[in-house]
Amino acid sequence: MKKKQAKHNTKKNKTHLKQKIIISFSIIVFLLIAFFAYQCYTYFLPNFKVKNGERVFIYITKETTFNDVVSQLTTQNAIKNVHSFKRWAKMHSYPKHIKTGRYEVIDGMSNKDLIFNLSRKIQTPIKFTFNNIRTKDQLCKRINEQLMIDSATMHNTLDNKEILLKYNVSKEEVIAFFIPNTYEIYWDISATDLLARMYREYQKFWNKQRLEKAEKTNLKPVQIATLASIIDEETNLKKDKSIIAGLYLNRLKRGMPLQACPTARFAVGDFSLTRILYEHTQFDSPYNTYRYKGLPPGPIRVASPEGIDAVLNYTKSNYLYMCAKETMNGEHNFASTLSEHNRNAQRYQKAYNQLFRKR
């Protein structure tokens, strides 16, 4: 009996032990499933927040580290669980493969969504825009303010003879490729790619209709941009631009120097000048159309589309001279003869002297 009892107890103990093992194993499996379920949940769970009406972006340069990325998220208060983002980013090897760009953080994004965008370089383009640019330095600065490109790199690209040779353009003329508008461009575009993009936009702007009109002026598109840049500096009045364009085209056809005040101002390098004096007209520079006939080597500013179209749709006339109107409101008096021009100039000078005497 004792042997039977002992055998029965042993069997019973084994059964209990087996049950304990099964229960323990089940608990471990359950915990593992729960753990992995939670991990997956945090991967797909919305982890990023953005206030209504706001837009949050991460900017990544070649020098940006993973900690910098995390810092941008926390500084902008755009992340709920930093640790889960770090964990999943490292599991996908993102810290070792950071890619430049401008990435938008959208409200309700999950770790999966953002890591996917960052890893695949899925960016949000910027609205790149520029206008009222006078010099190449100003243009490069404006580019640097909106894109990852630094001013020096952009300037060197616009002066690089080998690069410009591909476009058959000089460093003085290249600014003509930049037609003021709003363009969708990726923030981390390179300087050479930006130039290529602007050249493509330049070609689109110079469509068949504009090229046909350009032929009638006997000027190339770059030359028209150069003349347009002078006209843009002469006046802001749209109604005067086409008249001034016709006047300057008349002078070019006759072989007369343009004698455009804006070119003397550009040559001297002082844009604050309100009056061009004799000394300014004698400044030796190929841009000074008082000293040199024909057009300057290139535009004296980024020409506006309106200025370019004013040249292409110039007003036909016999005008050869112009002078600021005595009304001092930005308008001009135009003349076909020097004597008529001198009378206009006297009226303006009288009004100018009276105005400044009162001051």
The domain spanning residue 86 has which CATH number? 3.30.1490
Q: What is the predicted pLDDT for the residue at 219?
A: 97
Domain match, 304 and 266 both: yes
Buried b (16+ CB within 10 A) or exposed e, 326-355: beeeeebbbbeeeebbeebbebbeeeeeee
Domain's final residue, options 171, 186, 205:
205
Domain match, 112 and 161 both: no
Q: At 115, which amino acid appears? A: I
182 located within any domain: yes
Domain match, 100 and 147 both: no
21 located within any domain: no
338 located within any domain: no
Task: Give the mean pLDDT of 197-211.
Answer: 98
- 18 pLDDT more than 70: no
Structure tokens at 239: 């109604």
Domain match, 150 and 92 both: no
Range of the domain at 156: 126-205
Domain match, 102 and 174 both: no
Q: What is the predicted pLDDT for the residue at 15?
A: 62
In the three-class reduction of DSSP (H, G, I as helix; E, B as strand; rest coil), residue 294 is classed as: coil
- 357 pLDDT more than 70: no
Domain match, 115 and 103 both: yes
290 located within any domain: yes
Task: Give the mean pLDDT of 114-136.
Answer: 95
Domain match, 183 and 217 both: no
The tally of CA atoms less than 13 A away on the side-chain side of residue 4 is 1
Domain match, 162 and 242 both: no
Domain match, 250 and 188 both: no
Structure tokens at 150: 């630094």
Terminal alpha carbon distance of the chain: 131
41 located within any domain: no
Q: What is the predicted pLDDT for the residue at 6?
A: 57
- What is the rounded CA–CA span in Å between residue 308 and residue 289? 19
Q: Which residue has tokens 């009892």?
A: 5
3 located within any domain: no
Domain match, 230 and 299 both: yes
Q: How confident is the model at residue 198 (pLDDT cuts 50, 70, 90)?
A: very high
39 located within any domain: no
Domain match, 176 and 262 both: no
**Total number of domains constituting the chain:** 3
Q: How confident is the model at residue 33 (pLDDT cuts 50, 70, 90)?
A: very low
Pairing mode of beta strands 56-60, 126-129:
unpaired
Q: What is the predicted pLDDT for the residue at 349?
A: 87
- 22 pLDDT more than 80: no
Domain's final residue, options 179, 205, 231:
205
Q: Spell out the residues 6+ positions from residue 194 whose beta carbon is closer than 8 angstroms to its own.
A: 143, 147, 149, 154, 185
Task: Give the mean pLDDT of 118-125.
Answer: 96
What pTM was estimated for this model as a whole?
0.84
336 located within any domain: no
- What is the rounded CA–CA span in Å between residue 149 and residue 158? 13
Domain's final residue, options 205, 221, 256:
205
